[in-house]
Each structure stands twice: as C-alpha cells, then as structure tokens.
Chains A and B, each alone.
Chain A
Amino acid sequence: MAMKNKAYVFRAKKGLDQGVVEQISAKKQEPEWMRDFRLRAYKIFLEKPMPTWGADLSGINFEEIYYYLKPNEKVERSWDDLPKEIRDTYDKIGIPEAEKKYLGGVKAQYESEVVYGSLKKSLEKKGIIFCGMDEALLKYPEMVKRYFGTIIPSGDNKFAALNSAVWSGGSFIYVPKNIKVGLPLQAYFRINSANMGQFERTLIIVDERAEVHYVEGCSAPIYSDDSLHAAVVEVVVKKGGKCRYTTIQNWSTNVYNLVTKRAWVEENGLMEWVDGNLGSKVTMKYPAVVLAGEGARGEILSMAVAGKGQNLDNGGKCIHLKPNTTSRITAKSISMKGGRSSYRGLIQISPGAKNARSKVMCDALILDGKSRSDTYPTNKVLESEAIVEHEATVSKIGEEQLFYLRSRGFSPKEAETMIVNGFMEPIVKELPMEYAVELNRLIGLQMEGSLG
C-alpha cells in the first residue's frame, strides 16, 4: 500500500529533469553553491553511461521514480511529535527502544528527509555534532563546503552523480580532536512508498585522535514496483583518528541499492567498514579506503547473503598512497535459492607506497545448485617494495561437518544453520551484540526452507 497524499507534506513530480533538481534545492532554501553543485552533477548524470559491468541494472526506469518526498515539516526531537504512521514504523523496528538502551544518538530518515534526531547531552557538550545533512548545510556551511563532494566527486560514477544532483537527508557527524564517542551513533533509513528514490548523503569528519562508531540500518516494505536507493557516504579520518562504519542492509527485495562509500584516511588513522548485506534486489557497493597518510590503516569486513532473486555485488577497495600503510579485507558470502553474490575488489599500491601491505580473504558458500558465486579482485601493485596477498575459496557446506553434527543428534537444517552461522561468525562478532543477534536471526530466516 502506497502512502496516501496526506501522509507527506510535499512530493516532487515523477521523473527527473532540471526543474526537479532546482525545486529540491529551492525547497531546502540552500546556498547558491549547492544549487550549482547539484546542477553540474545533474549534467554529469546525463552524460555518464550506465555501468557495463556488475549487476543487471536494466530494470531501473528513471522516469518512474519519485526523486523527492518530504514526509514531515521538520526534524522532531521527540518520537511522540511524529505523525502516528511514521512513529509506528520505527516502533516496530525497535529504534526508540534501542536508543534508550545503547545508542549515543539517533537519526531517523523517512523517504527523503530526516524526521527525528537526537544526541545525548553529554556528547553534545563535548562538541560532537550529529545532525541531518540538510541541517548541517545551514548550520555549519563552511565545514560542509570544505569537504562535501571532495572524497567522492560527482563524476565518480553515474549514481554518485545522481545522488549529488538530488541528494536529501543523510547524516553529518563531526568529532572534535581527542574526543572518543563511546556509544555508537545510529541512523535508520526507511523507504515506505513505492517507486521511491532515496538519495541520502552522509559526511563524517573524525578529527585528530578522535574516535566514532556509526551504525546504519535500513528497511522498506515490499511493493510490486522497484525502488532506488543511491547513497553517497564520505568519511574523513584525520591524523590518528578512528572511524568504524557499520551497515546492516536489509532492504526489501525490490530495492536497487547502488551506493558509493569512501573514506580518506590521514597519518596513522584507521577506517573500518563493516558491511552486512542481506536484502535488496540488486546491490552494488564497494566501500573504499584511501590511505593518504603514512601508517594509515584500512579494514573492510564484507558480508552478503543472497537469496531468491537477489544479486549482491559487493566488496571493497583499498588505495595505498603512502608508505607503511596496511589494509585488510575479509569477505564472506552465501548464495542460496538461486541467488547470486559476487565479491568485487581492488587493492592498489601506488608508486612510492613503500612497505605497504594488504591482505584479502574471500570465502563463499553455495548452498544449492541453482545459486552462483563470483570473485573479481584486482591487485594493482605499482610499488616494488610492497606485499599484497589475496585468497579466495568457493565451496558448499562440508559433508564431513554436516555428518559430524548430525551424528550428534542435530537435524540437517539445524546442522546447516550452525555451520553457516559459524562461517559468518568472524564478521558477526564485530557487530554490536544487539545487531549480531538480529543478524543471526535474519540469516536463519533466509535459510528457512533452503533444504529439500
């Protein structure tokens, strides 16, 4: 069921042209530089071809999408002030409860806009900024202007260009020097209407020796028509800073999820992407780390569970620009019920990045004969004093393991679930406890009926 007209305060017409881009900018009362930024990006979007590799994107009809849908007048500070339908949605997902228990702050985005925002007083007092991207553009224009679109330029790819043209919502985080944010900050993204395009834009700046853990989740109800989610996430980690960015992607299986994520890491900084993908019809997402300062480190944990009708094409990229930089990618995927999962990755050691080291480990399980698993890594070593290692395996669940557990009294299904959970454990254990439990539950749900 699509939302009724009354349930949002403004909706742009279906389809995309320059007028829609201008209208979004005008509605947001943006500074002129942002309007120009959008219009330039729109041109790039028109000029850029669709990617010729990766998943099949021919099902996307750009004319059938709503690019901007504003559900509420402003960002509320209390859940009770939200319209009932929106509040109920988040209650069901359990966000308000999680907020009370273990989060430092929450942003909730519904369709195109952030509708709820909170940050613990104690964190606010330390100078931490956590707000919606639109709010940041008005409140902290200089900081936004300095970084926005510098890590991922509009011309990076067609969908980054599209996002740059019509972006709305997303999070802005700034963590001042030496401040460590103990509790995770969370954003939750919800697409609730059919034919919706969600284009949030997130910018995180972790200043020198500061630390933050950001968690994002997302969901959408299933419609017969497809929706499009094309986000851009830019992260800057300054000298000695540390950022962990955790994603639990559980879009419904009618969402095209085409996301560009990149972090710029300076001297001795650390960026960690923890990327869990369970949902969506198609995902193309390769979180990247640019190791731009000596001793910078990057870590990517990538997880995909591809079921019926799903094509999850994900992985990671590590670009080593400076000496003594290190990176590691650990990818685990499961393909079942005709699903396809692909690991796609790039390790690049640039000339002069002496003593850089990188290690990539990919393991894939195929649970049945209908499903497919691919591995497409590129290792570009342009510096002779560097070491790059890559390993990958694709297999089914071991017969020996299955027999072992069954001979202890477990049913084939119990045994299979235990083995799969064990297979995913190295990544799941990196998640906050509540998410780890949820993830194991979701994997269990996906696997139901996967055995004959």
Chain B
Amino acid sequence: MRQQVIKLKVGKLESKGVAKIWRINKSNIKKRLVMRAVVEEGGYLEMKGKIVIGKNIADVDVFLEQRVLLMGVGARAVVIPELEIESNEVKAGHATSVGQIDQEQLFYLTSRGLTRELAVKLLIEAFLA
C-alpha cells in the first residue's frame, strides 16, 4: 500500500498546527496517510486530518494514522481526525493516539545498557524516521 508521511516536531514552548484535507475524487485508490509529531515541554500542537469520499466512488481503501508523543511537562495536543463518506464500495478509517514513549521499548533499550536519555532520543528518532 502506498504511504505518505507527514512529520513534525514542536519544540519547547512552540505552537504549531498542521492540517491535511484528503479528498478522494476517483476510484481505485489504496493509500495510507501518516501524520506524526513530537511535542516538547510547553509545546502546543493542533493536528487535523480529514478524509472526504464523495458519491459514486468505488474500490477505495484509505487510512489516516495520527500519532503524537507528548515529551515533557506542559506538552499539549489537539488532534482531530475526521471522515466524511458518501460511497459504500469503499473502506476508510483512522487511528489516532496521543501519549508518551512506549515503556516496554524504553525498558528494552535500557536493559541493553543504554542510558535513559539516549534510549529516549533513539526512540524519538525512530518515531520520526
């Protein structure tokens, strides 16, 4: 499946917004849109992603993934995934998560001897890779 990735980093006390409206105007599309962001201390992010499928569209399978990591005190995010679907020969979906670094991944890396700081740094790099 084809994939498009939008990545974003919101630094300390920064405020950023990203919005993507994805209109499906023709049939026969299989695609995934990924939006990923890391928000640091005191940062604020607004992320909007919308899939619109009009009438008489067929054989479409589209998915929007939005992942946000809140990496410090006061990091905030407003995430809005939307779907407007007017055809039935299609499949559309989204998955959104706002949270912190996966503790199991972190444990795995630190148990290999990495410092916590380095492990976090690597995981953020991997997240935005």
Same complex for A and B? Answer yes
The chain A residues found within 8 Å of chain B, CB to CB, are 351, 364, 366-369, 371-396
Cα distance, A385 to B74, chains bound together (Å)? 9
CB-CB nearest in chain B for A383: B76
The contact of A373 among B83, B95, B98, by CB within 8 Å, is: B83
Flag if A391 contacts B74 (CB, 8 Å): no
* Residue from A376, A377, A384, A392 having most chain B Cβ neighbours under 10 A: A384
Cβ of B63 to closest chain A Cβ, rounded Å: 9
Flag if A393 contacts B91 (CB, 8 Å): yes
Cα distance, A15 to B68, chains bound together (Å)? 50
Cβ of B41 to closest chain A Cβ, rounded Å: 8
Flag if A391 contacts B94 (CB, 8 Å): yes
Flag if B55 contacts A393 (CB, 8 Å): no
The contact of A391 among B86, B90, B92, B96, by CB within 8 Å, is: B96
Cβ of B16 to closest chain A Cβ, rounded Å: 15
- Say whether, besides A369-B88, A390-B95, A393-B91, A381 and B78 are in contact (CB < 8 Å): yes
Does B72 reach chain A (CB closer than 8 Å)?
Answer: yes
Cβ of B77 to closest chain A Cβ, rounded Å: 5
A-B contact pairs, 24 of them (CB 8 A): A364-B85, A369-B55, A369-B87, A373-B83, A375-B83, A378-B79, A379-B78, A379-B80, A379-B98, A381-B70, A381-B98, A384-B39, A384-B100, A385-B100, A387-B100, A388-B97, A388-B99, A389-B95, A389-B96, A389-B99, A390-B95, A390-B96, A392-B95, A394-B92
Q: Which residues of B contact A364 (CB under 8 A)?
A: 85
CB-CB nearest in chain B for A381: B98
Flag if B89 contacts A396 (CB, 8 Å): yes
Q: Which residues of B contact A396 (CB under 8 A)?
A: 88-91
Flag if B96 contacts A366 (CB, 8 Å): no
CB-CB nearest in chain B for A348: B78
Does B93 reach chain A (CB closer than 8 Å)?
Answer: yes
Q: Which residues of A contact B87 (CB under 8 A)?
A: 366, 369
The contact of A395 among B56, B74, B75, B90, by CB within 8 Å, is: B90
Cα distance, A384 to B75, chains bound together (Å)? 5
Q: Which residues of A contact B76 (CB under 8 A)?
A: 351, 381-384
CB-CB nearest in chain B for A378: B80
Flag if B78 contacts A380 (CB, 8 Å): yes
Flag if B88 contacts A367 (CB, 8 Å): yes
Flag if B97 contacts A374 (CB, 8 Å): no
Cα distance, A30 to B44, chains bound together (Å)? 49
Does B73 reach chain A (CB closer than 8 Å)?
Answer: yes
Does B84 reach chain A (CB closer than 8 Å)?
Answer: yes
CB-CB nearest in chain A for B40: A384
Does B81 reach chain A (CB closer than 8 Å)?
Answer: yes
The contact of B97 among A366, A376, A387, A395, by CB within 8 Å, is: A387
Does B14 reach chain A (CB closer than 8 Å)?
Answer: no
Cβ of A302 to closest chain B Cβ, rounded Å: 16
Cα distance, A343 to B25, chains bound together (Å)? 23
Flag if B85 contacts A372 (CB, 8 Å): yes
Q: Which residues of B contact A378 (CB under 8 A)?
A: 78-80
Q: Which residues of B contact A369 (CB under 8 A)?
A: 55-56, 87-89
Cα distance, A368 to B87, chains bound together (Å)? 7
Cα distance, A379 to B80, chains bound together (Å)? 6
- Say whether, besides A379-B78, A381-B77, A384-B74, A391 and B95 are in contact (CB < 8 Å): yes
Cβ of A419 to closest chain B Cβ, rounded Å: 14
* Residue from B39, B56, B74, B93 having most chain A Cβ neighbours under 10 A: B93
Does B71 reach chain A (CB closer than 8 Å)?
Answer: yes
CB-CB nearest in chain A for B69: A384
Q: Which residues of A contact B85 (CB under 8 A)?
A: 364, 366, 372-374, 394
Cβ of A400 to closest chain B Cβ, rounded Å: 12
Cβ of B2 to closest chain A Cβ, rounded Å: 19
Q: Which residues of A contact B78 (CB under 8 A)?
A: 378-381
CB-CB nearest in chain A for B73: A384
Q: Which residues of A contact B84 (CB under 8 A)?
A: 372, 374
Flag if B88 contacts A366 (CB, 8 Å): yes
Flag if B70 contacts A384 (CB, 8 Å): yes
Within 8 A of A (CB), among B41-67: 55-56
Besides the contacts A384-B75, A386-B99, A396-B89, what 5 more A-B pairs have beta carbons closer than 8 Å?
A381-B77, A384-B74, A384-B100, A388-B99, A395-B93
Cβ of B26 to closest chain A Cβ, rounded Å: 16
CB-CB nearest in chain A for B89: A396
- Say whether, besides A374-B82, A379-B79, A395-B90, A390 and B70 are in contact (CB < 8 Å): no
Cα distance, A391 to B81, chains bound together (Å)? 9
Cα distance, A395 to B78, chains bound together (Å)? 26
- Say whether, besides A375-B82, A380-B78, A387-B100, A393 and B93 are in contact (CB < 8 Å): yes
Cβ of A366 to closest chain B Cβ, rounded Å: 4
Q: Which residues of B contact A371 (CB under 8 A)?
A: 86, 88
Flag if A374 contacts B83 (CB, 8 Å): yes
